[in-house]
């Protein structure tokens, strides 16, 4: 078990290093100059050269990468002379555009994205899995058809349609809700939930549709397996067969998908954040790409990759707990 | 002046959005405007004692109190007065800091440059525009109650030389050193052991500051409106962190500032209306909200919910939303008019040497279609002049009397038997610019030109067309004056002596001896109104005799305000509604 974890962690670190190098190289491979963007239109070559020097873009690529990595582990000094600033580890640099420490940007945008994802993931897993399981048990009934029909609608909708419709109905037309906003959970949990209810419903409903269909199919497959028939034949009560035997087997692939989905969503729910005007990680990263804001691009890409890698490890560990057939090693 | 840099709408995800935002940027604009309330303004530097008197004239129906809100997608890049160049930052800084001079606007298009910190727009000591003296008004205080001195103004100018704070305008620095873009070769600000005072600046006493230039700069009263001249006490200089909290000399100070989220201003109780000729400062607080996207801002303002009624939007209405702004109650809350930007199709005169062809291009391009591609009339109005209607001395004329939709027959008549040359049309690769390029291509081809279009990465667009040896014949570019005077338009765009191998602003690569000489002559005219008239005449001469560009359209602003915002109007100096004299209706 311990060996497994260590091996996976080493692999994760290697992956993240590879991703950081690729991002760095790709960023500089495209023919565009961040200094020109920062400097604006009324800018001449002398000024552009100065901006490049200030941002450290005049250094060889390998040195820039080295400085970046050193900053993460040991911190670094940014700027020269009176303008030298200590950037303690983990130093992700300063935004090219606003001079804000990238770590601060992550600190204020990540909680927004995490809040959106946690709430909606709870919704989609609860609704999706229970609806799917119930439909499987009541296969062929009106309930099953209704549930699956609804989920087909949900699965075919898009966030940028469904989200805008909800906004139109609940905010702009009726004024039943105020426009979504983010309040830190620690500040006011009620306001936190109230401000995020529309994004939660949007993401929760759309994703639950997929999970309902997936859970139903998995459950049906498991119910037709030999060990379920054996359990029933042994005279076990129906509920015990479903919950103790069938559910555990059926849920394994759902955990895999949920892990990946949540990991990917934590990296930024760009469309949801954009539609509801929430300043999350996704919006910050897209804005950074448009501005050629390298420190933010690197940080958000690495963070997104970390979430996916971490969720993968967690899913593998969960397997061992959920499914008795899986042994780690 | 640069306009706010906003979302370029690149990337698959943003494009997928129903109403993805493409706000005004340095290389991209799909803003809106109209020809209704054209703020043609006379533009004047006023030494009249009545104009320069504090307090500022009372606002009709103005009410003190309340919170005035501003929706601004993505927030400010810099509030540090040395670093503020984008119009929204300059307008917000007007609440926080005072400058030597400033604009008094009445909302009817009249704009006057008067003394703000200074008692008047500056004394031209030797009547040769080389030595400028400003006397500060007595009794002006910072937020901590200490008096504002001329030494603090000098310190503010000094720190603006620093390469680490270089995002702001560079006029005064270049004039003081007479070294052009190399202005900080010898002086890099008061840091790292640098002198406390920049070259050419002296402060004989606490109320007086004198600027000495090597060459005449009669525009100094205009240049002094820029936040370069805002006072910064040396003891408060937090260097790059000053951006987060500029020390207030204006009517408001920063209460809280969360980047990417909000900025809240509260009253600076040490500000005295009797020392300030510009600001009525009626609301008790200002709240800037940075969390909404362009379309959401205007969706909220159209809906005018109670919580949003005292907000205004620093964001043009998106083309898809225009239809919703036609109902009478919304229409009444629309602010529209030309900005200081004019968009031109620059003709590369190194490649298109034949004047007749350049004239023909002026007939060929369908300006109407180019505008329709980005939203039609609200986005702007077809242009015929080089100068924007917002600059001093603007004279309306049309050198060719071509219809806005183009005149293919006239092209053939002009070119006669010469076959129209093949053209390379370059454009920045964003959805609005691509649509415009397509419209231009169609009209050029209808007039008989063969056109190859070439897309350029939007962040690289001005770098590419700014290379002297660029392989393109015709390309769209926007230019806005830094202050409403033709001196910030015609010399940078049409002085042939400023052409360099890269980084050009004279994108037609137009170099004509007679025009260069005239530019020099006008620069030394002592009277502002004589200069304005001479610039207008030169504008007409350049188009009539040389046609180095096709003036495409005057960029328009088209923004919304909530129903409880009073006295909001588009500033001739900044394009969007200014804040120093707005109020909240009860």
- What sign has the CA pseudo-torsion A132, A134, A138, A143? negative
**Residue B174 falls within a domain, yes or no?**
no
Residue B115: its H or E element: strand B111-115
pLDDT at B16 over 70: no
CB contact under 8 A, A292 and B27: no
Q: Which residues pair with B123 in a beta bridge?
A: B133
Q: Which residues contact B421 (CB under 8 A, 6 or more apart)?
A: B352, B354, B357, B449, B450, B473
Burial B550-574, CB ≥16 within 10 A → b, else e: bbbbbbbbbbbbbbbbbbbbbbbbb
Mean pLDDT, to the nearest integer, of B49-68? Answer: 95
Interface test mutation site (partner A, options B3, B69, B161, B240, max chain A beta carbons within 10 A): B240
Comparing alpha-carbon positions, the chain A residue that sits nearest to B258 is A108
**Residue B362 falls within a domain, yes or no?**
yes
Q: Quick one: tokens of B432?
A: 């609005």
**Residue B23 falls within a domain, yes or no?**
no
Q: Quick one: tokens of A131?
A: 């609806």
- Counts for chain B of helices (H) and strands (E), in that order: 15, 20
> Are A51 and A187 within one domain?
no
Q: What is the CATH number of the domain that holds A296?
A: 1.10.3720.10
Q: Which residues contact B345 (CB under 8 A, 6 or more apart)?
A: B361, B365, B440, B474, B475, B476, B549, B550, B552
A and B: number of Cβ contacts within 8 A: 129
Using the Cβ of B455 and the Cβ atoms of chain A, whether some distance falls under 8 Å is answered with no
**For B420, which DSSP code?**
P
Give yes or no for a cis peptide into A90 (omega within 30° of 0): yes
> Are A320 and A185 within one domain?
yes
Spell out which residues of chain A touch residue B170, defining contact as CB-CB under 8 Å. Answer: 47
Residue B20 — pLDDT band, cuts 50, 70, 90?
Answer: very low
What would the pLDDT profile of A153-191 be if each residue is shown by its tens digit? 888 888 889 998 998 899 878 878 888 888 899 999 999
What would the pLDDT profile of A118-129 be if each residue is shown by its tens digit? 999 999 999 999
What would the pLDDT profile of B459-483 be if each residue is shown by its tens digit? 788 888 989 999 999 999 998 888 8
Asked if residue A32 lies in contact with residue B457, where contact means CB atoms within 8 angstroms, the answer is yes
Distance from CA of B494 to the nearest CA of A (A): 15
Which of B483, B485, B475 minimizes the C-alpha distance to B552?
B475
Asked if residue B578 lies in contact with residue B94, where contact means CB atoms within 8 angstroms, the answer is yes
pLDDT at B31 over 60: no
pLDDT at B35 over 60: no
Give yes or no for a cis peptide into B230 (omega within 30° of 0): no
- Burial (CB < 10 A; 0-12, 13-18, 19+), residue B392, is buried
How many CB atoms are located within 10 Å of the residue B106 CB? Answer: 12
Distance separating alpha carbons of residues A142 and A140, to the nearest angstrom: 7
Could you tell me the pTM of the whole model? 0.84
Using the Cβ of B182 and the Cβ atoms of chain A, whether some distance falls under 8 Å is answered with yes
- Burial (CB < 10 A; 0-12, 13-18, 19+), residue B234, is middle
Distance separating alpha carbons of residues B45 and B529, to the nearest angstrom: 9
Distance separating alpha carbons of residues B150 and B268, to the nearest angstrom: 20
For chain B, report the end-to-end CA distance as a whole number of angstroms. Answer: 35
Ranking A292-296, B20-24, B221-225, B366-370 by mean pLDDT, the lowest is B20-24
**Residue B355 falls within a domain, yes or no?**
yes
Asked if residue B468 lies in contact with residue B351, where contact means CB atoms within 8 angstroms, the answer is no
Which of B86, B87, B69, B91 minimizes the C-alpha distance to B263?
B69
Q: Quick one: tokens of B98?
A: 């005072």
Q: Quick one: tokens of B452?
A: 């190859």
CB contact under 8 A, B18 and A277: no
Strand pairing category for B101-105 and B111-115: antiparallel
Residue B45: its H or E element: strand B44-45
CB contact under 8 A, B291 and A278: yes
- Sheet of B101-105: strand order equals B44-45, B111-115, B101-105
How many CB atoms are located within 10 Å of the residue B424 CB? Answer: 17
**Residue B550 falls within a domain, yes or no?**
yes
Residues in chain B: 586
> Are A38 and A91 within one domain?
yes
CB contact under 8 A, B14 and A286: yes
pLDDT at B5 over 70: no
Distance separating alpha carbons of residues B441 and B424, to the nearest angstrom: 10
> Are A202 and A113 within one domain?
yes
CA B365 remoteness from chain centre: 26
What would the pLDDT profile of A20-67 be if each residue is shown by its tens digit? 999 888 888 776 678 877 776 567 777 788 888 888 888 888 999 999
**Residue B463 falls within a domain, yes or no?**
yes
Angle at B540 between CA B25 and CA B109, to 5 degrees: 55
pLDDT value of residue B33: 32
pLDDT value of residue B284: 98
Asked if residue B3 lies in contact with residue B25, where contact means CB atoms within 8 angstroms, the answer is yes
> Are A219 and A310 within one domain?
yes
> Are A191 and A270 within one domain?
yes
Q: Which residues pair with B25 in a beta bridge?
A: B28
Asked if residue A70 lies in contact with residue A88, where contact means CB atoms within 8 angstroms, the answer is no
Interface test mutation site (partner A, options B10, B13, B456, max chain A beta carbons within 10 A): B13
pLDDT at A218 over 60: yes
> Are A239 and A284 within one domain?
yes
Phi/psi of residue B439, each to 5°?
-65, -40
pLDDT value of residue B30: 31
> Are A96 and A148 within one domain?
no
> Are A18 and A55 within one domain?
yes
Q: Quick one: tokens of A217?
A: 């199919």
Number of domains in chain A: 2
What part of B 369-428 touches A (C-beta under 8 Å)?
none
Asked if residue B582 lies in contact with residue B58, where contact means CB atoms within 8 angstroms, the answer is no
CB contact under 8 A, A33 and B463: yes
DSSP B150-180: HHHHHHHHHHTT-GGGTTS--HHHHHHHT-G
- What sign has the CA pseudo-torsion B469, B473, B476, B481? positive
Strand pairing category for B380-382 and A76-78: unpaired
Residue B454 — pLDDT band, cuts 50, 70, 90?
Answer: very high
Distance separating alpha carbons of residues A312 and A262, to the nearest angstrom: 10
Distance separating alpha carbons of residues B249 and B146, to the nearest angstrom: 10
Q: Which of A102, A131, A166 is the last residue of a domain?
A: A102
Q: Is the complex ipTM higher than 0.85? A: no
pLDDT value of residue B43: 54
pLDDT at B21 over 70: no
Q: Which residues contact A66 (CB under 8 A, 6 or more apart)?
A: none
- Give the position of tokens 């590879």: A18
Nearest beta carbon to residue A50 from set B78, B163, B243: B163
Distance separating alpha carbons of residues B14 and B27, to the nearest angstrom: 18
pLDDT value of residue A126: 93
Distance separating alpha carbons of residues A126 and A135, to the nearest angstrom: 14
Using the Cβ of B512 and the Cβ atoms of chain A, whether some distance falls under 8 Å is answered with no
Distance separating alpha carbons of residues B61 and B224, to the nearest angstrom: 31
Average pLDDT, chain A: 88
- Counts for chain A of helices (H) and strands (E), in that order: 14, 2
Write a three-state SS string for B61-124. Answer: CCCCCCEEEEECCCCCCCCCCCCCCEHHHHHHHHHHCCCCEEEEECCCCCEEEEECCECCCCEE
Interface test mutation site (partner B, options A27, A44, A51, max chain B beta carbons within 10 A): A44
How far are the Cα atoms of A130, A268, A324, B49, B456 from residue A183, in angstroms, in the given order?
30, 18, 42, 51, 41
Mean pLDDT, to the nearest integer, of A89-110? Answer: 91
**For A244, which DSSP code?**
I
pLDDT at B42 over 70: no
Nearest beta carbon to residue A108 from set B17, B260, B296: B260
CB contact under 8 A, A160 and B10: no
- Rounded (10°) angle between helices B528-545 and B513-523: 170
Q: Which residues pair with B584 in a beta bridge?
A: B565
Q: Which of A78, A102, A126 is the last residue of a domain?
A: A102
Which of A186, A318, A182, A322 minimizes the C-alpha distance to A250?
A322
Comparing alpha-carbon positions, the chain A residue that sits nearest to B241 is A99
Spell out which residues of chain B touch residue A104, defining contact as CB-CB under 8 Å. Answer: 259
Using the Cβ of B505 and the Cβ atoms of chain A, whether some distance falls under 8 Å is answered with yes
What would the pLDDT profile of B358-392 be if each residue is shown by its tens digit? 999 999 999 999 999 988 888 899 999 999 988 88
Which of B84, B77, B86 minimizes the C-alpha distance to B1?
B86
pLDDT value of residue A40: 60
Interface test mutation site (partner A, options B75, B463, B479, max chain A beta carbons within 10 A): B463
> Are A118 and A88 within one domain?
no
Mean pLDDT, to the nearest integer, of A232-241? Answer: 86
Containing domain of residue A98, as a range? 2-102
DSSP A222-290: HHTSHHHHHHHHTT--HHHIIIIIIHHHHHHHHHHHHHHHHHHHHT--HHHHHHHT---HHHHHHHHHH
Mean pLDDT, to the nearest integer, of B91-113? Answer: 93
CB contact under 8 A, B11 and A98: no
Angle at B8 between CA B3 and CA B9, to 5 degrees: 145
> Are A96 and A115 within one domain?
no
Residue B354 — pLDDT band, cuts 50, 70, 90?
Answer: very high
Distance separating alpha carbons of residues A191 and A184, to the nearest angstrom: 8
pLDDT value of residue B502: 82
Number of domains in chain B: 1
Q: Which of A84, A102, A120 is the last residue of a domain?
A: A102
How many CB atoms are located within 10 Å of the residue B519 CB? Answer: 20
Residues in chain A: 329
Share of chain B above pLDDT 70, in %: 93
Nearest beta carbon to residue B18 from set A33, A39, A160: A160
Distance separating alpha carbons of residues B90 and B97, to the nearest angstrom: 10
pLDDT value of residue B25: 32
Distance separating alpha carbons of residues B425 and B420, to the nearest angstrom: 14
Ranking A258-262, B10-14, B120-124, B186-190 by mean pLDDT, the lowest is B10-14
Containing domain of residue B430, as a range? 338-556
> Are A206 and A195 within one domain?
yes
Comparing alpha-carbon positions, the chain B residue that sits nearest to A181 is B291
**Residue B101 falls within a domain, yes or no?**
no
Mean pLDDT, to the nearest integer, of A282-308? Answer: 91
Q: Quick one: tokens of B307?
A: 């919580």
What would the pLDDT profile of B242-301 be if each residue is shown by its tens digit? 999 999 999 999 999 988 889 999 999 999 999 999 999 999 999 999 988 888 899 899
pLDDT at B583 over 90: yes
What would the pLDDT profile of B516-538 be if each residue is shown by its tens digit? 999 999 988 878 888 889 999 99
Asked if residue B66 lies in contact with residue B283, where contact means CB atoms within 8 angstroms, the answer is yes
Q: What is the CATH number of the domain that holds B543?
A: 3.10.105.10
CB contact under 8 A, B462 and A104: no
pLDDT value of residue B23: 28
Nearest beta carbon to residue A286 from set B11, B85, B292: B11
Mean pLDDT, to the nearest integer, of A280-295? Answer: 89
């Amino acid at each position: 078990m311990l060996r497994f974890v260590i091996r996976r962690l080493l692999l994760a670190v290697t992956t993240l290093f590879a991703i950081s190098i690729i991002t760095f190289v790709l960023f500089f491979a495209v023919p565009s100059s961040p200094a020109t963007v920062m400097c604006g239109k009324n800018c001449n070559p002398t000024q552009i050269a100065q901006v490049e020097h200030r941002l450290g873009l005049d250094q060889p690529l390998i040195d820039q990468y080295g400085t970046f990595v050193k900053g993460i582990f040991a911190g670094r000094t940014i700027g020269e002379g009176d303008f030298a600033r200590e950037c303690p580890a983990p130093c992700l640099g300063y935004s090219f555009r606003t001079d804000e420490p990238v770590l601060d940007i992550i600190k204020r945008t990540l909680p927004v994205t995490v809040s959106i994802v946690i709430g909606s993931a709870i919704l989609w897993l609860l609704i999706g899995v229970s609806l799917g399981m119930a439909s499987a048990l009541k296969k062929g009934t009106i309930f099953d058809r209704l549930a699956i029909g609804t989920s087909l609608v949900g699965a075919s909708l898009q966030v940028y349609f469904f989200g805008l419709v909800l906004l139109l109905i609940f905010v702009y037309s009726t004024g039943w809700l105020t426009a979504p906003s983010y309040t830190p959970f620690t500040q006011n949990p009620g306001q936190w939930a109230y401000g995020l209810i529309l994004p939660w419903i949007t993401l929760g409903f759309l994703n639950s549709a997929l999970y309902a269909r997936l859970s139903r199919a998995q459950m049906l497959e498991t119910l037709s397996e030999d060990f379920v028939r054996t359990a029933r034949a042994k005279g076990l009560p129906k509920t015990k067969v479903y919950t103790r035997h069938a559910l555990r087997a059926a849920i394994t692939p759902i955990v895999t998908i949920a892990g990946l989905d949540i990991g990917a969503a934590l990296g930024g729910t760009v469309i949801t954040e954009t539609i509801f005007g929430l300043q999350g990680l996704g919006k910050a990263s897209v804005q950074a790409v448009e501005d050629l804001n390298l420190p933010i691009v690197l940080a958000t890409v690495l963070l997104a990759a970390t979430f996916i890698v971490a969720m993968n490890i967690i899913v593998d560990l969960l397997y061992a707990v959920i499914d008795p057939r899986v042994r780690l090693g | 002046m640069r306009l706010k840099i906003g979302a370029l709408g690149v990337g698959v995800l943003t494009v997928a959005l129903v109403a993805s935002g493409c706000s005004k940027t340095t290389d991209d604009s799909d803003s809106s405007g109209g020809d209704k309330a054209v703020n043609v303004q006379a533009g004047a530097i006023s030494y009249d004692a009545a104009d320069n008197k504090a307090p500022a004239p009372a606002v009709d129906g103005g009410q003190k109190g309340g919170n005035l809100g501003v929706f601004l997608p993505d927030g400010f890049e810099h509030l540090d007065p040395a670093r503020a160049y984008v119009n929204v930052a300059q307008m917000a800084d007007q609440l926080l800091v005072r400058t030597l001079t400033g604009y008094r606007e009445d909302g009817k298009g009249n704009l006057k440059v008067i003394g703000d910190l200074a008692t008047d727009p500056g004394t031209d000591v030797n009547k040769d525009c080389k030595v400028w003296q400003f006397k500060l008004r007595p009794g002006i205080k910072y937020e901590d109650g200490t008096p504002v001195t001329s030494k603090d103004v000098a310190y503010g100018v000094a720190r603006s030389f620093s390469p680490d704070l270089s995002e702001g305008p560079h006029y005064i620095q270049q004039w003081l050193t007479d070294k052009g873009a190399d202005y900080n070769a010898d002086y890099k600000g008061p840091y790292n052991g640098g002198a406390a005072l920049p070259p050419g600046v002296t402060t004989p006493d606490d109320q007086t500051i004198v600027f000495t230039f090597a060459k005449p700069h009669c525009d100094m009263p205009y240049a002094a409106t820029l936040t370069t001249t805002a006072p910064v006490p040396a003891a408060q200089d937090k260097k790059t962190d000053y951006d987060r909290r500029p020390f207030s000399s204006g009517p408001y100070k920063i209460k809280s500032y969360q980047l990417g989220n909000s900025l809240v201003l509260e009253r600076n109780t040490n500000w005295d209306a009797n020392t300030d000729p510009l600001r009525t400062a009626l609301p008790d607080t200002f709240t800037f909200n940075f969390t909404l996207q362009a379309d959401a801002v205007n969706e909220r303002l159209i809906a005018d919910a109670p919580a949003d009624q005292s907000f205004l939007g620093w964001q043009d209405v998106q083309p898809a939303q225009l239809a919703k702004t036609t109902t009478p109650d919304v229409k009444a809350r629309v602010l529209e008019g030309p900005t200081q930007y004019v968009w031109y199709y620059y003709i590369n005169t190194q490649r298109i040497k034949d004047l007749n062809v350049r004239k023909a291009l002026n007939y060929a391009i369908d300006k109407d279609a180019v505008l329709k591609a980005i939203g039609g009339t609200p986005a702007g109005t077809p242009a015929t002049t080089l100068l924007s209607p917002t600059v001093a001395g603007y004279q309306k004329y049309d050198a060719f009397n071509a219809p806005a939709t183009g005149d293919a027959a006239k092209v053939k008549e002009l070119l006669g038997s010469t076959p129209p040359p093949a053209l390379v049309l370059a454009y920045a690769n964003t959805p609005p610019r691509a649509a415009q390029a397509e419209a231009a291509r169609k009209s050029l081809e209808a007039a008989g030109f063969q056109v190859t279009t070439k897309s350029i990465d939007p962040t690289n667009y001005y770098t590419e067309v700014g290379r002297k040896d660029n392989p393109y014949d015709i390309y769209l570019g926007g230019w806005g004056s830094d202050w409403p005077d033709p001196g910030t338009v015609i010399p940078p765009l049409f002085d042939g002596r400023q052409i360099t191998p890269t980084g050009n602003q004279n994108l037609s690569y137009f170099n004509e001896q007679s025009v260069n000489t005239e530019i020099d002559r006008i620069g030394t005219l002592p009277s502002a109104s004589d200069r304005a008239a001479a610039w207008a005449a030169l504008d007409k001469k350049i188009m009539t005799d040389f046609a180095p560009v096709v003036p495409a359209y005057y960029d328009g602003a088209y923004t919304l305000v909530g129903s409880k915002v009073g006295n909001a109007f588009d500033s001739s100096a900044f394009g969007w509604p200014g804040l120093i004299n707005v109020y909240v209706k009860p």
